[in-house]
Amino acid sequence: MEIDFTLRPDPTAAFRSLGAGSSTAVLFLHGITGSPVSWVPIARAIAAEGIDVSVPLLPGHG
């Protein structure tokens, strides 16, 4: 069985980005049944410390 892992860009994929151009960044990925909302409290706390944070909505989830 062959599996195709071709990446397809999705210009409508939602994400939340917090921060203001720090040289350090954190990427949070939600679980299979999750969404970016589950990371918002910790993402805000980390961004408040001056670290950039990105929390994407993975296609087909959330």
Is residue 4 one of the residues assigned to a domain? no
- Does residue 42 belong to any structural domain of this protein? yes
Number of domains present in the structure of the chain: 1
- 8 in any annotated domain: no
pLDDT the model gives residue 35: 83
pLDDT tens across the length of the chain (62 residues): 555 555 556 555 566 677 777 788 888 888 888 888 888 889 889 888 888 888 888 877 65
The answer as to whether 25 is a domain residue is: yes
The reply to whether 7 falls in a domain is no
User: How far apart (Å, rounded) are the C-alpha atoms in residues 5 and 17?
Assistant: 26
Residue span of the structural domain in which 44 resides: 15-56
Inside any domain, residue 62: no
